[in-house]
A and B are shown apart, each in its own frame.
Chain A
Amino acid sequence: MLDTSKIGTKSPPVSVPVEIGQLKFFAKATGETNLVYTDETAAREAGYRSLPAPPTFAFSLSNARPDPFKRYTDLGLDLGKILHGQQQFDYVQPICAGDVITIEETLSDAYEKKGGALQFYIFDAVATNQHGDIVLRMKNTVVQKHG
């Protein structure tokens, strides 16, 4: 049976500096060709303070903790049997290299389908920058297969 007692649990907040080298590495890994994501001059000409973090990068920031899967294994999830079900971003303002982003994540819901064969865990996260401004919100659905 699904343990719903953990709904509402908050993960310890994680504060991560957004590093220009990692943004360039992410751009390389994703075959990015838009210079705004790799060239600081192009980024500044486009009106950014420095290289912008691309739209999905905040998810990577949320994994920048010593043991990123602990929040899943603490719930009894098996890393070999979990799948990313859904991911949502709602944007407020850009994240750029040089920012320090703090992410606070809550297990906001958990439920099962198909008689328990599939369990769904919904994590809601808020990301704020070093000025205390909310930069975006994320919703992450993790699915655990049983059997």
Chain B
Amino acid sequence: MADLSTLKPGDALPALTKPPITRTTLALFCGASNDHNPIHVDIDFAREAGMEDVFAHGMLSMAYLAQLLTQLTDQRNIRSYGVRFGSITHLQDEITCSGRVTDKVKHEGEDRLVLEIAATDQRGDVKLVGQAVITL
């Protein structure tokens, strides 16, 4: 893992691109994440609800974005992680996770980095934006 102590506000984090999301991805995530809302896996239910098709769980992209953090540091160094969900992620979307350092702070006796992170699709549409605080 990278030496985080040299990171400073403005620095970009190493990006992470995930494979396109398929129906299989959603079926697996439905079972693995205990989120059985049929809107993500049952096209009949999705159409009944007025959608054209099933769409991805927001928490799938949040899990992807967490991998941006855990490829950067051991997860025991993550103090907080939060996101705001934007537009819906559709089948075949390819999610890229990226971020940058926005601040370096001392809190509770720790040197911490404040990170602004985002998941975007192949068109550059932002799916979720978030913030994480990690300790060095």
Assess the B32–A86 pair: CB atoms within 8 A: no
Assess the A89–B82 pair: CB atoms within 8 A: yes
Question: Which of B3-11, B69-77, B118-126 sits within the interface?
Answer: B69-77
Which residues does B use to contact A, with CB under 8 Å?
18-19, 25, 28-29, 31-39, 45, 48-50, 57-60, 62-64, 66-67, 69-71, 74-76, 78-85
CA distance A45 to B76 in the complex (A): 14
| A113 contacts the other chain (CB 8 A) | no
Can you give 18 contacting A-B residue pairs, CB < 8 Å? Answer: A26-B32, A26-B33, A36-B70, A54-B67, A55-B66, A55-B78, A56-B59, A59-B33, A63-B33, A80-B39, A83-B85, A84-B57, A86-B82, A87-B82, A88-B82, A89-B81, A89-B82, A94-B75
CA distance A110 to B25 in the complex (A): 33
Chain A at the B interface: SS class: mixed
Interface centre among A29, A79, A88 (most CB of B within 10 A): A29
Sample of 11 further A-B pairs with CB below 8 A, known A31-B64, A46-B74: A29-B25, A59-B33, A79-B37, A79-B38, A86-B82, A87-B59, A87-B62, A87-B83, A90-B80, A91-B78, A91-B79
B19 contacts across to A, CB distance below 8 A: 31
Which residues does A use to contact B, with CB under 8 Å?
22, 25-26, 28-32, 34, 36-37, 46, 52, 54-56, 59-61, 63-64, 68-69, 79-81, 83-91, 94, 139
Interface centre among A26, A56, A60, A94 (most CB of B within 10 A): A56
Assess the A30–B63 pair: CB atoms within 8 A: yes
Ranked nearest first, the 7 interchain pairs of A and B with the lowest CB-CB distance are: A80-B49, A88-B82, A29-B32, A63-B34, A29-B28, A55-B66, A84-B58
**Least distance between A65 CB and chain B CB atoms (Å):** 9
**Least distance between A43 CB and chain B CB atoms (Å):** 11
Question: Contacting A68 at CB < 8 Å: which of B34, B84, B85?
Answer: B34
Assess the A60–B33 pair: CB atoms within 8 A: yes
